[in-house]
Structure 1
Amino acid sequence: MRRSYRLALIISCLFMTGCFLFKTVEAAEKEQRILLVYDSLNIAENKQNDLDALQRLLTSYGVTIQTIEEDDYLSRMLFEQEFTGVITMINWSDKGLNQQFVKDRSSFTGKKLHIGSNVALDEQQLFSGKWQELSHRQFTLEDEKENYSQILSYKDQTTVLKDTAGKSMGQLRTQEIDHQVVPFAVLENGHGFLPFFDRKGAVFLKSAELIGAWLGIEQSYSPVLTIADLNPMKDMGVASTFQQALTKVNTPYIVSTTSVNQNNTTKPYNVFTDVLRSFESGAGVIFLEMPVVNNVNLNDDHALSQLLEQQISLLVDRNVFPVGFSTYGYWNQDAQYQADGLKISNTIILRENPSIEDQYYRAKTNNSERFGTAFYDFPYDYLAGITWNVNGSKATYQFPMPVTLSFSFPDTEKEINTIINNISKSPLNFYVVGQKKIQFDIQTQTQHIQLLNRRRYLNGKLVNSFNNVPNTTVSGAVFKGQFARFFNVTNVVLIVFVITTILILGVLFGFGRRNYRSKYIQKTGKNK
């Protein structure tokens, strides 16, 4: 009996150990580390945000990225860490590459992706087909599945790969009489090629698809409707009207907002949080935007972490439950922002960087952090120019990574109408926020906020669903105090006085003009 018991115990232990090792190996296989090498930011041609877009795109796929400019590349750097792949991004074709990097890349056995022109010989040999330089062309980019197409801007020089045996993704059709057609993106034997990259339009959509296939990640997501840039200084009357308009659209959405850690006992703060609760009571969820930073040195006592935790606690006290963060992409390229801010949330929206002058780093790093869910923020305006193949009322296209399709928060009722109209006419179906596919949660030292199956949990306990919260109406400001009556009467008197004065001046002007004309015009109508 004892032997049977021991044998069963040993078998159980071996089985559990095997399962643990299998899961560990499986997790290790899924985790990818990519070295992204670029030649230049190319600020002169306003292409610095293309690099930012590529970094955010890779993060949304859940890979670990190390970014380095080719001038800073040192010998053997590609082999010092366990990189699974390397990306060469040509952002300025007139600049050459570090030859030490080119040498190491040719010896690297992992997968490789080239973006742009100046394809080196070691990269050309990875693909079958014929390389060709096309000059002074305008293309139409067409999806190979015929989901969408777009006429692209004129290009001086384009490197293309023709007659390849690899997998073609998208095609470029010239605007000439013969309508020459060449592949846009190519994937062959685990290696990828993109002739150019853009953070907007069909080029971005097809580039994202190619990069996902290159990483070996197969997934699909409908975009999440997102309203960005709400803050306590906005007109809360307009915000309340907007909330009611969104309720009629009946589309789940994210509202990202900044908050405060002071003046939280004032009436404006109460009105602001009431408006946030009204968004939550409908189909909305709240994301907290990272605070505005400047060049003041905040590298002391983890001030950012304390500020964020205080803001979250104050919102929770008002029954507002943020379930994620929203921030600019460069925050994920800063070690202090990562450690003191972004680590609090497992769910994040990565937005396009502001201008270089408005980027303030504390401890810049080359390494990007990974998150449970990292949304790539794609402004709705970036869909402009795309022609969709609509099946019924909506296109069937889905993004290959988590995406937020965003609008800026409106300031007027006219802007509200424009946004609602664009949402209604959107060619894409929106994701239903709160489904199991995407994780939403924030973890501070004292609070764990989650959104599961469209229900909010605080420290594991279900909180109010807000179904009974009425629409917030924001009344006009009423002046109260000891001199309120005096100032109200004074205002009326001044208004009456000004109007009376204007009328009297108008009458005097009429008499004066008539007398002046009578001096020079005869009664017969002839001039003297």
Structure 2
Amino acid sequence: MRRKRRITLWGLLLLLVVGGGLASQSTSAAAATTTADRRVLIVYDAINPTVSGQKKLAAVQRLLASLNVKTQTERLSDYQAGQLTTRRYQGVVTLNNWEQGRLHNAAFVRDRNRFTGRQLHIGSGLSAQEAHRLGATRQRVYHQQFVLHDGGNWQLLPFSTDLTLLNGLSRHTQTFGTLRTQGAGLAPHAYGVVHGKSAYLPYLTADGFSLTVASRTLAALFGQSRTNRPLLTITGVTPYTNLARLRRLGQRLYQAGIPFAVSTTSVADNTTFRAFKRFAQTLSELETENGVIFLQAPVVGATNRQSGQLLEQLMVGQLNQLGQRQVLPVGISAPAYWNQDRAFRRHGLQRATNVLLLPNPATTTFAKQDNLGTTFTQTWYGLPLRSLQTVENGHHAPGDLSWAVPTALTVPMPDSAKGLTATLKQVTGLTTRWYDPSQQLTSRLTSASATFRYDHGSYFLNGREIDVGNSTVALPRFNPRRKNHVALKGYFQVQGWILWIFFTIVLVILVIFIILGRRIYRRMFFQNSKRR
């Protein structure tokens, strides 16, 4: 008896140890997953178009996506007390676009002061508590024009009416770029500042030299130190582009040894016309000249309940039509706001591992806006090359710049022979070491019936390597059935369930009455039989 008890006790002890170990491992894995998945909360006071507030907000969202950091964007007035905690967020960004508005949320300031995660303040309104975390003191300057210096590069900045700079930085503080005035009345000050888990940028622009320095500041704050090469990207290509000029551009870049990408729109209908065949053939030729293709997302004019389904059909149709003609895109390009929309992410961006986020158009139309920016295997920040033309270093503008995030230097498709000559002169004259997809890129893109894969210069379709220009491509047909939306569909469905339950109850009651009636009848029958 004692032996059985001992065996039982040892068995229970063993189960507790094993169960505890498994629970510990699962808890550790869950904690690691939670840490990796925690977002950065972006809180902005106002859009304020007079200072390009929307562009600044989109720039922060794109920079963090390029750093592989998920985000959640919140207006200051919508912030709820107790929302900012280290359990939910790994960091917070305060973006101040409207100092004159004096917008304030006491709950946010209180929670931010208690928050122990990473903090970044951009723009005016830096509090004394934030400056203390940066190990510095504040100095406000008015009506100055600064020159931003970084390494051997410098750029003259627009005139600023009000700027908050930092003094008394400790030797443990990381600084990025230096702001100097043209006169001798003000000492040089740091532009980007990182001290521990806190960082500060006195201003932010969505492009230009300042953006490259700001990106290095954000990368340092989030503990990323890798360097990247920029990817030359031709934008604005459509099926209606002058194809001879596009072929000429690709040939000249190939002859100059410059790898490149093309961001192009496409169509899913009328693909049997000769014009589309010539368009696809031109793109296929660019692929053989060390060029890669990004399929650009369609322009959104209006949305409704079926927008996600229609986008799915459109994207799949475009991909399949291109794939059948040996055009295998390596990723999706889209405006930045697409990453803030649940429908556009699910049916558009998330089918690709490589995504190029471009500046937003003047008008943005959402389908299911949720302001929850996600990440991809590689997210490119689209930066216009022309915004770097005023950078001076004695050589060529982007030649000696440091790229902290994957950056696509975009050049619009030339619309004339003169524009083609100017573009080629500008690009070939740069000393930049360009990103080479054939040496560095792996990507995967899926549609309903096909999977495109690119691996260091080799193309694969549904797992089979494709020799672009010499292979015959056959894709399974995909014919999505459009589901018609019926306004009263839910009403009739609920009504049907109610009727079904009602008749079931009635049937049960009838069966009970039948059974009871049968028993009563039999009892009466037996009683009458005994009387006789």
Q: Does the pair score TM above 0.5?
A: yes
Equivalent position of 2:454 in the other structure: 451
In structure 2, the CA distance between the partners of 1:123 and 1:292, relative to structure 1 (3 Å rule), is same
SS at the partner of 2:85?
A: helix
Alpha-carbon offset, residue 245 of structure 1: 2.3
Is 2:258 the partner of 1:251? yes
Equivalent position of 1:52 in the other structure: 58
AA partner of residue 169 (structure 1): F
In structure 2, the CA distance between the partners of 1:80 and 1:192, relative to structure 1 (3 Å rule), is closer
Equivalent position of 2:401 in the other structure: 397
Alignment map for 1:370-409 (pairs within 5 Å): 370-388=375-393, 390=395, 395-409=399-413
Equivalent position of 2:369 in the other structure: 364
Q: Quick one: which of 404, 419, 433 aligns to 1:415?
A: 419
Alpha-carbon offset, residue 97 of structure 1: 2.4
Is 2:427 the partner of 1:431? no
Q: 2 CA distance for matches of 1:457 and 1:18?
A: 42
Alpha-carbon offset, residue 28 of structure 1: 5.6
Alpha-carbon offset, residue 18 of structure 1: 11
Q: 1 CA distance for matches of 2:379 and 2:202?
A: 26
SS at the partner of 1:378?
A: strand
Judge which range, 25-34 or 121-130, deviates more. Answer: 25-34
Equivalent position of 1:325 in the other structure: 332
SS at the partner of 2:166?
A: strand
Alpha-carbon offset, residue 56 of structure 1: 0.7
Equivalent position of 2:181 in the other structure: 174
Equivalent position of 1:158 in the other structure: 163
SS at the partner of 1:265?
A: coil
- In percent, how many aligned pairs have the same letter? 28
Q: 1 CA distance for matches of 2:330 and 2:27?
A: 33
Equivalent position of 1:493 in the other structure: none
In structure 2, the CA distance between the partners of 1:322 and 1:153, relative to structure 1 (3 Å rule), is same
Q: 2 CA distance for matches of 1:300 and 1:387?
A: 46
In structure 2, the CA distance between the partners of 1:389 and 1:187, relative to structure 1 (3 Å rule), is farther
Q: 2 CA distance for matches of 1:36 and 1:467?
A: 49
Alpha-carbon offset, residue 103 of structure 1: 1.1
AA partner of residue 257 (structure 1): T
Q: Quick one: which of 263, 276, 280 aligns to 2:283?
A: 276
Alpha-carbon offset, residue 340 of structure 1: 1.3
- Whether contact under 8 Å (1:142, 1:172) holds in the other structure is yes
- Whether contact under 8 Å (1:377, 1:406) holds in the other structure is yes
- Whether contact under 8 Å (1:223, 1:398) holds in the other structure is no
In structure 2, the CA distance between the partners of 1:362 and 1:301, relative to structure 1 (3 Å rule), is closer
Is 2:138 the partner of 1:131? yes
Gaps in structure 1 of 5+ consecutive residues:
1-14, 470-528
Equivalent position of 2:108 in the other structure: 101
Is 2:97 the partner of 1:91? yes
Q: Which runs of 4+ in 1 moved over 4 A?
A: 15-32
Q: 1 CA distance for matches of 2:80 and 2:271?
A: 51
In structure 2, the CA distance between the partners of 1:164 and 1:443, relative to structure 1 (3 Å rule), is same
Q: 1 CA distance for matches of 2:152 and 2:379?
A: 25
Q: 1 CA distance for matches of 2:239 and 2:36?
A: 42
- Whether contact under 8 Å (1:147, 1:395) holds in the other structure is no
- Whether contact under 8 Å (2:303, 2:366) holds in the other structure is no
Judge which range, 106-115 or 423-432, deviates more. Answer: 423-432
Is 2:445 the partner of 1:442? yes
* CA-to-aligned-CA distance 1:410-454 (integer Å, 9 cap, x gap): 221111111111111224221111334x43220223211111111
Q: 2 CA distance for matches of 1:456 and 1:140?
A: 46
AA partner of residue 447 (structure 1): A
SS at the partner of 1:435?
A: helix
Q: 1 CA distance for matches of 2:308 and 2:189?
A: 57
Name the Cα RMSD after superposition: 2.6
Give the aligned length: 450
Q: Normalising by structure 1, what TM-score?
A: 0.80
In structure 2, the CA distance between the partners of 1:135 and 1:467, relative to structure 1 (3 Å rule), is farther
- Whether contact under 8 Å (2:86, 2:116) holds in the other structure is no
SS at the partner of 1:388?
A: coil
In structure 2, the CA distance between the partners of 1:64 and 1:17, relative to structure 1 (3 Å rule), is same
Q: 2 CA distance for matches of 1:18 and 1:408?
A: 54
In structure 2, the CA distance between the partners of 1:410 and 1:24, relative to structure 1 (3 Å rule), is farther
Q: 1 CA distance for matches of 2:434 and 2:250?
A: 18
Equivalent position of 1:12 in the other structure: none
Is 2:219 the partner of 1:212? yes
Alpha-carbon offset, residue 23 of structure 1: 8.1
Q: Quick one: which of 74, 79, 86 aligns to 1:73?
A: 79
AA partner of residue 94 (structure 1): Q
* CA-to-aligned-CA distance 1:110-149 (integer Å, 9 cap, x gap): 1211111111232122122321111111111111xx1411
Q: 2 CA distance for matches of 1:181 and 1:157?
A: 16
In structure 2, the CA distance between the partners of 1:320 and 1:37, relative to structure 1 (3 Å rule), is same
AA partner of residue 281 (structure 2): D
AA partner of residue 139 (structure 2): Q
Q: Quick one: which of 289, 293, 303 aligns to 1:286?
A: 293
Q: 1 CA distance for matches of 2:204 and 2:219?
A: 14
In structure 2, the CA distance between the partners of 1:300 and 1:330, relative to structure 1 (3 Å rule), is closer
Judge which range, 19-28 or 60-69, deviates more. Answer: 19-28
Q: 2 CA distance for matches of 1:367 and 1:281?
A: 38
Alpha-carbon offset, residue 29 of structure 1: 5.0
Is 2:94 the partner of 1:63? no
Gaps in structure 2 of 5+ consecutive residues:
1-20, 473-532
Alpha-carbon offset, residue 150 of structure 1: 1.2
Equivalent position of 1:302 in the other structure: 309
AA partner of residue 77 (structure 1): Q
